[in-house]
Structure 1
Amino acid sequence: MILGIHDGHDAGAVLIDGGKIFAVNEERLNRVKKYRGFPGLSMKKVMEMANASPEDVEIIAIAGVFRKLSRLKELEANLRAVFGDDFKRKVLFVEHHLAHSASAYYTSGWRNALAVSIDAAGDGLSSSIYVARDGEMVRIAQSTYIDSLGDFYASITELLGFKPMHHEGKVMSLAAYGRPSYDLSGILELNGLTFDNHLGVIGVEATRKLAEFFGYPLPRTKEIANQMKRGGFNGELQKKAIEIAASAQAHLEKLIKELGLELKDHGLPVAYAGGVAQNVKANATLRHLLGDENLWVFPAMDDGGLAFGAAVFVWAQMKRLDGKWEPFKLEHVYLGPAYGKDEVEEFLRRKGLEYEEVDVPSFIADALTEGKLVGFFRGAMEFGPRALGNRSILADPRDSNIRERLNVALRRDVFQPFAPSILWEKAGEYLKDLNGNPNEFMTMGYTASRKFKQEAPAVIHIDNTTRPQAVRRKTNPMYYSIIKEFNKKTGLGAVLNTSFNIHGEPIVCSPEDALKTFMKAELDVLVIEGYAVFQ
């Protein structure tokens, strides 16, 4: 039994027990978004899910190398409290980018691949590229934390008044509203398989230099961002901000494309993770270059997936030692806590709520056609940043006005798009640039077909792109049945799916979380393990 932990930004824990995987991030349990620190609750929860005790854990795989004495002592004290004085005999540290890259390679299903990690920084590096063959990973390139593509984009995020390392997705969304008007090749460029930062600085110093480069007023950035969050795009500074976002996104895509050309020469498929892999439009650029069947983006690509990467790397090495390693394909990410039907009914009864048992697919399809916002909770929680049908808010994508209602209910920025969950067999009909199997994890952007744009305007971004989840019956039978039933009633094999949380809060984990968010967002109905609750 191997326990993977990440003690830091986006803390979490993963337990591999034979062929079973249990995974959860600390934020889902302590309700602190992107929690930084020791994953005590996560460790306890994954062991609880596996019916295991600390004595059952044979190896503790820790993501990242601890350099500060105070942090290392704190980590050791926390581990000692759980595993006893001999905990060090179980510990193996896995370097940050190795954990990222391992999370992608060892879940790709490929025997031979390139494993790529790109983010802001970790253990002194910002990117790493490995040749992976027969379970062995050999690093062939890297960039230091100074030459960081992720930090460049984070500095743009900060410059535009958003929170760096949190709101990079907002910059990507905002970019679609404008055209790139700045040449950023003199700031950051690709050099072979590595990046070169010509600014020579990172973090807030880079933000200041970029403010000078663009002539953008740093003291007013948050004020301008708040205006854009509410839809105020017409002022000169707002227009400038959109041009900056569009230029940064275009440059990111250009660099990823150039890197993809270098990678393509190796003749191997690419397994990809790290914070930059959250950028679904840059991922689409890479996909167009490599082909749908030659790119795998690990679903928990950000630091929230590091515990998984550390655990799966150690698991693979143990298998290799025994001569038993074989490629493994991750089929789904429903790896988190689940709550039984009886447990949920007892919870609802204890809360004094009126509820009724319903035929879930038919009930939700009817509710959506009536224009209702549905909180949907069932089964094991998703691992990673995307809600994929087990902790989701669902709506009718045919109604473009539903976006405004959702934005108000969830306190979202008006320029952020919503995503669809579509029937697997409808992907070729709805996605214009699909050339292979569709994406199941919302890690990839696509161009919407004319038909899909006309029929599902609420899930199409202003630039005609969409970030779909293709749903197969065998992967999530209940969610598939809901979409199938909606398709029977409306002729559209897709629903709007957004994560079950208020903006700035973690996705709900427990029935208690679901009820609180349902009430706070004033959704119309909550469907939880087969029971419907109304406001």
Structure 2
Amino acid sequence: MKIIGLHVHAGQSAACLCEKGSIVAGAAEERFNRIKQSRAFPNNSIQFCLKKAGVSTLEELDGIAVSWNPANNMKNINLSGFTQWRRYDPEWLYIVPNNLLNLGLQEGFPGESLKMDIDINLNCPLHFVDHHRSHLGHAIFQSPFEQGAAAIIDEYGEYYSVTLARFLGNKVEIIRQIPYPHSLGIFYAAITEYLGFRPNSDEWKVMGAAAYGEPERFQNKVEKLLLWNESDCEWIIDQRYIEHANMKRAGYLNERLKGFLGIPVRGKDDEIKQVHYDLAAAAQAVFEDRLFRLLNCLYEETGEKNLCVAGGSFMNSLANGKILNRTPFERVFIPYAAADNGGAMGAALWVYHCVFGNRREIIQNPPSPFIGPSWDDDEINRVIKKFKLHYEYCEHPDQSAAEEIATGHLVGWFQGAMEYGERALGARSILADPREASMKEKINSAVKYREAFRPFAPSVLMERVADFFDLPSGASVPYMEQVYPVRLEMQSVIPAVVHADGTGRLQTVSRDMNPLYYDLIKQFEEITGVPVVLNTSFNIQGEPIVCSPEDAIRTFFSCGLDTLIIGRYILRK
């Protein structure tokens, strides 16, 4: 059974292929059209998935799953004003079903997914899956747990901003939900905008800035923006200050918030001052407080030991790394694409397991994120020769890369299938020596051209992680999705990947998931005694992570990288 999953309703549109209950291919459209966070319909991504599936037409698929259900939106809005008549003829495609559904929404529509047949002779129906059920499908059906609790927290779905559930096998029970606009994601995006960054894009910057601030300066005020209702165990956003739900104004903020916080909104090009770091720290503290209150309520309601999470709020790696210490859950699974682009996978998995009723097979090993396009050495060689570039052939790219990194060179690393998601995990990475404290500034000034306060991630051999980081029992970090403290005695050993608060957003690397990258770090350990390399995404500011050999070569010559190791070929400057 082959199902294409689509994320099309927001930034970073994407497609994936689910085959027999496993995600075997996928990519965001931005990687092909080279527009960061592209909202374009994922035509290129779909073509890649069809090729991977070995099919040439949609007729050979068993279904297409979309991670948004417009029929759920229709339950709470008046349709009479804009779906009665068409502006141009193709609009009949949705005007007719819109109005038919509106005649009996509660009785005629169950609310989980909407099936639509495009053609009576086409055995490939469209399934519009509720957005939070798409996230549930991704978090639950890729997890190693037979049963547990699940939390979906983001800005909003069709109507809800939080969905709490429990699951056993294929059966998923919704426990309760928090409606939009009472949203943890909107709260954090509003502070992101206040600090002069781009909401739904630059929240990473707020996380990085928080380490330089003191939360006490603003925490009492910021807490009032997202009130906690103890009796109902939910948060309530104060819409006097955050007006995302007001469609008559752009953005998240209003003039009252400016007066309430007592500092001007920072312009995007303004200097970042201590007051901004303090506001970031307060926002992060309140985010974590509200998140852990909710997760503790979920534990009390379910008694489950295993937790699966997804939604954009779980891209907050600072908070993710504290879940096991701040809640009674014993194990947590955070997928490699917890944000909306992962909804493409979740929609396909939900249709496979919950609509078609296929039995779920539990796999204990973390699913591989390396499901994107790849190029073999012959294809790479043709590209290099097309550009008339001088190159060296290397039999062992892992050893060559380790030697380059150990000498202080900045290395572009392009190997195998591209990662899915927003983090480079050792297939499309820039690698450097973590032992040199100045390496962070070197990369920022020569390659990334980004704010100096943003940290870089350490990739560490899985069996050596406890020697360098303080992790709670049961923690697994294969996707660079959690932040943990660096052991005090190791902070001087790998200073380039230690943030201002003594932490690192680490990635544990196993030979099973990525043997070549594992061997690279192992070789680096043999040379230096340190089983850690600095890893950041292979791109420059404003561009998506590289996808093709052409992307890698262009980016290599557009920045201050010293070496590019692409397949078994080495390019130098």
Q: State the TM-score, normalized to the length of structure 2.
A: 0.86
Q: Which of 11, 32, 55 pairs up with 1:29? A: 32
What is the rounded CA distance, in whole Å, between the counterparts of 1:155 and 1:87 in structure 2? 45
Task: Return closer, same or farther for 1:257/1:348 CA change in 2, 3 Å cut-off.
Answer: same
What is the rounded CA distance, in whole Å, between the counterparts of 1:71 and 1:153 in structure 2? 39
Instruction: Report the CA distance between 1:517 and its aligned residue.
Output: 0.8
8 A contact 1:376–1:389 mirrored in 2? yes
- Partner deviation per Cα, 1:109-129 (whole Å, 9 max, x = no partner): 211121211111221221111
Q: Which of 475, 480, 496 pairs up with 2:534? A: 496
Does residue 107 (structure 1) correspond to residue 142 (structure 2)? The answer is yes
Aligned partner of 1:354 in structure 2 is 390
What is the rounded CA distance, in whole Å, between the counterparts of 1:283 and 1:312 in structure 2? 24
8 A contact 2:16–2:25 mirrored in 1? yes
Task: Return closer, same or farther for 1:75/1:460 CA change in 2, 3 Å cut-off.
Answer: farther
What is the rounded CA distance, in whole Å, between the counterparts of 1:377 and 1:337 in structure 2? 12
Does residue 379 (structure 1) correspond to residue 410 (structure 2)? The answer is no
8 A contact 1:155–1:207 mirrored in 2? no
Instruction: Report the CA distance between 1:340 and its aligned residue.
Output: 0.9
8 A contact 1:278–1:301 mirrored in 2? yes
Q: Which of 42, 49, 52 pairs up with 1:49? A: 52
Task: Return closer, same or farther for 1:437/1:148 CA change in 2, 3 Å cut-off.
Answer: closer
- Structure 1: stretches of 5+ with no match in the other structure: 78-82, 229-237
Instruction: Report the CA distance between 1:438 and its aligned residue.
Output: 3.4
Report the more deviating stretch, 485-494 or 408-417. 408-417
Task: Return closer, same or farther for 1:93/1:75 CA change in 2, 3 Å cut-off.
Answer: farther
**Mapping of 1:210-225 within 5 angstroms?**
210-218=257-265, 220-224=266-270
Instruction: Report the CA distance between 1:55 and its aligned residue.
Output: 2.1
**Mapping of 1:208-247 within 5 angstroms?**
208-218=255-265, 220-224=266-270, 227-228=271-272, 238-247=273-282
- Partner deviation per Cα, 1:187-245 (whole Å, 9 max, x = no partner): 21333443211235432354543322111213x53232xx23xxxxxxxxx22111111
Report the more deviating stretch, 453-462 or 404-413. 404-413
Instruction: Report the CA distance between 1:26 and its aligned residue.
Output: 0.6
What is the rounded CA distance, in whole Å, between the counterparts of 1:488 and 1:451 in structure 2? 20
Instruction: Report the CA distance between 1:494 and its aligned residue.
Output: 0.3
Question: Once superposed, what is the RMSD of the aligned Cα atoms?
Answer: 2.2
Task: Return closer, same or farther for 1:528/1:450 CA change in 2, 3 Å cut-off.
Answer: same
Aligned partner of 1:119 in structure 2 is 154
Q: Which of 484, 505, 511 pairs up with 1:473? A: 511
Task: Return closer, same or farther for 1:445/1:72 CA change in 2, 3 Å cut-off.
Answer: farther
SS, match of residue 553 in structure 2: helix
Same amino acid, percent of matched pairs: 35
Does residue 484 (structure 1) correspond to residue 519 (structure 2)? The answer is no
8 A contact 1:187–1:197 mirrored in 2? yes
Q: Which of 457, 463, 467 pairs up with 2:501? A: 463
- Partner deviation per Cα, 1:301-353 (whole Å, 9 max, x = no partner): 1111111110111111256x35x333345422101111111111111111111
The amino acid of 1:222's aligned partner reads K
8 A contact 2:193–2:252 mirrored in 1? no
Aligned partner of 1:232 in structure 2 is none
More helix by share: 1
Higher Cα radius of gyration: 2
Does residue 526 (structure 1) correspond to residue 573 (structure 2)? The answer is no
The amino acid of 1:115's aligned partner reads A
Instruction: Report the CA distance between 1:56 and its aligned residue.
Output: 1.5
Aligned partner of 1:197 in structure 2 is 237
What is the rounded CA distance, in whole Å, between the counterparts of 1:72 and 1:281 in structure 2? 50
- Partner deviation per Cα, 1:69-113 (whole Å, 9 max, x = no partner): 699968979xxxxx8786696111111111112211111121112
Give the count of matched residue pairs. Answer: 516
8 A contact 2:491–2:498 mirrored in 1? yes
What is the rounded CA distance, in whole Å, between the counterparts of 1:465 and 1:243 in structure 2? 18
Instruction: Report the CA distance between 1:453 and its aligned residue.
Output: 0.8
SS, match of residue 441 in structure 2: helix
The amino acid of 1:273's aligned partner reads A
What is the rounded CA distance, in whole Å, between the counterparts of 1:389 and 1:141 in structure 2? 38
Q: Which of 463, 467, 479 pairs up with 1:441? A: 479
- Partner deviation per Cα, 1:464-510 (whole Å, 9 max, x = no partner): 01011101111111000100000011010000000001122111111
Aligned partner of 1:169 in structure 2 is 204
What is the rounded CA distance, in whole Å, between the counterparts of 2:198 and 2:328 in structure 1? 33
Aligned partner of 1:234 in structure 2 is none
8 A contact 1:199–1:209 mirrored in 2? no
The amino acid of 2:284's aligned partner reads Q
- Partner deviation per Cα, 1:234-280 (whole Å, 9 max, x = no partner): xxxx2211111110000001111211221222222110111110111
SS, match of residue 52 in structure 1: coil
What is the rounded CA distance, in whole Å, between the counterparts of 2:88 and 2:27 in structure 1? 22
Does residue 151 (structure 1) correspond to residue 162 (structure 2)? The answer is no
The amino acid of 1:303's aligned partner reads D
Task: Return closer, same or farther for 1:432/1:72 CA change in 2, 3 Å cut-off.
Answer: farther
What is the rounded CA distance, in whole Å, between the counterparts of 1:46 and 1:528 in structure 2? 23
Task: Return closer, same or farther for 1:163/1:443 CA change in 2, 3 Å cut-off.
Answer: same
What is the rounded CA distance, in whole Å, between the counterparts of 1:72 and 1:45 in structure 2? 31
What is the rounded CA distance, in whole Å, between the counterparts of 1:145 and 1:174 in structure 2? 28
- Partner deviation per Cα, 1:48-77 (whole Å, 9 max, x = no partner): 122222221111101112358699968979
What is the rounded CA distance, in whole Å, between the counterparts of 2:183 and 2:89 in structure 1? 26
SS, match of residue 37 in structure 2: coil
Task: Return closer, same or farther for 1:348/1:356 CA change in 2, 3 Å cut-off.
Answer: same
What is the rounded CA distance, in whole Å, between the counterparts of 1:292 and 1:464 in structure 2? 25
Aligned partner of 1:235 in structure 2 is none
Task: Return closer, same or farther for 1:198/1:472 CA change in 2, 3 Å cut-off.
Answer: same
8 A contact 2:374–2:418 mirrored in 1? yes
Does residue 306 (structure 1) correspond to residue 343 (structure 2)? The answer is yes
What is the rounded CA distance, in whole Å, between the counterparts of 1:478 and 1:533 in structure 2? 19
